[in-house]
Structure 1
Amino acid sequence: MQHLFCQLFLALLITLAMLSYSQKVIAQKTEVKFINQKSLGAFVSTGFALYAIENGEKYQPILIGGVLHLPFYQTHGKFNVAIDLMPQFGIVPYNNKMEYEFGFNFIFNFGFQVTENSILSISIGSGPHYITSSNDRQAPGFIFSDHLNIGYRHKFKSWQAGFSSGIRHVSNAGLEEPNLGIDSLGVGISVAKLF
C-alpha cells in the first residue's frame, strides 16, 4: 500500500513538472504579435500647404500630441484594424503672428505586419478641432480635421518608432463662411511604449 502511494505521488510530481514545463513553452509561443499590441506614445508632425492663402502665405501647422493605439482584435494573421485616439495641439506661424489649433482625432488604422518587427499601415480619420486663424479660405473657430495617411512602425523591444505621411484637410462642414478648407501634405514621426 505504501509502495502504491509512493508511485501515485511520483506520478503526480512528474505530471505537475510536465504541466509546468508545457505552460512555459506555450507562454513563449503565444507572445503577443506586434500587430496585436496596444501602445501609448507621442507624435510631432508638420504640414506643407498645397497652395498659398491670402497675402501669399501658407498655412503650415506644427502639431504635437499623444497617440493611444488600440487594436480591435487579436489576429493570428498579419492584418489588423485599430483605433488611434489622438489629442493634439498645434502652432501655426501665420500673418506675422502665432496662431493655434487644438483638437482630438479618431483614426482607423489598417495595419499589415511585414516582418516580425515592422508594420505598414493606411489610416483614415477625423475629429473636432478649434483654430484661431482667420483667412480667406477658412473661418476661425470649430473645424474638423480629416486625415488620410500611410505609415511605417518599427518595434524595438517594448518600444516602437514610426513615420507617417499623408493628406490633411481642415474645414467646418459649412457651419460658417468662408469654408473652402485648407489642404496640406503632412509628415510626422512618433514614439510609443508597447503593452
Structure 2
Amino acid sequence: MEVLLDNLDLYGPGFLNTIKLFALSAVGSLVLGTALAMLRVSPVPVLRAAGTTYVTLFRNTPLTLLFFFFVFAYPLLELVQLSYFQAAVVALTLYTTAFVCEVVRSGINTVPVGQAEAARAVGLTFGQTLATIVLPQATRSVVPPMISTMIALLKNTTIAAGFSVVEAGAIQNYLSERGYSVLVGLLWVALGFVILVIPLTQVQRALERRWKVAR
C-alpha cells in the first residue's frame, strides 16, 4: 500500500489519461468501424475494395509503427499539428477501426439474406436496409467480440507510454526514478486495469442476458 499511497499523484493522472485515451479512441473506432463495415458490404465494387484495402493495411500494421508515424513522421508533413496525446488517440482509433469493422461485418453476415432482399423489394435503399433491418439484428451477435475488441483497445493504450504520453503504462518509469519498487508498482497498475475491464465485462453479460430473453 505504501507504493500506491505515496504515489497517488502518479496513479491518479495516469489512469485518468488512460480512461480518456480509451474513451475517445473507442467512440472514434466504433463510428469509423461501422461506416467501414458498410463499405465492405456495399454493392459498389469500388467501395468494397476501399474498405478491404483499409482493413488489410491497418490490421497487418503493428500499432507501434502507427505511433511512430504520427509522433515522429506526421509532424514533418506540416499539416495539422497534433500533441502527443492527440497523436495517440488517432493511432489507436485508426488501428482499432479495422478490427471493429470486421466484427460488425461478421455480425451483418449473420442476418439472413432474405431479409435484405425483402427490404429492397418494398423499396428501401441500401442505407435504409442496413440502418433499419440489418444493423439492429447484427448488434446482438457482435456484442461479445466487440467487447473483446474494446478490452484489447484498453490494454493497447499502454503503448502510448513509450511516446511521451503520461498514462498508466508510464507509471513504472516514474516509480523507478523515485526509488520505489517497480514490481509492486506494476502489480497496482495491473490491478487498476482489472478494475477498468470489469465494467466492460458486466456490460457484455447484461446485454447478452437481455437479448437472450428477447429472442
Higher strand share: 1
Q: Please report the TM-score for the alignment, with normalisation by the length of structure 2.
A: 0.24
Higher helix share: 2
Greater RCO (CA < 8 Å, at least 6 residues apart): 2
Q: Please report the TM-score for the alignment, with normalisation by the length of structure 1.
A: 0.26
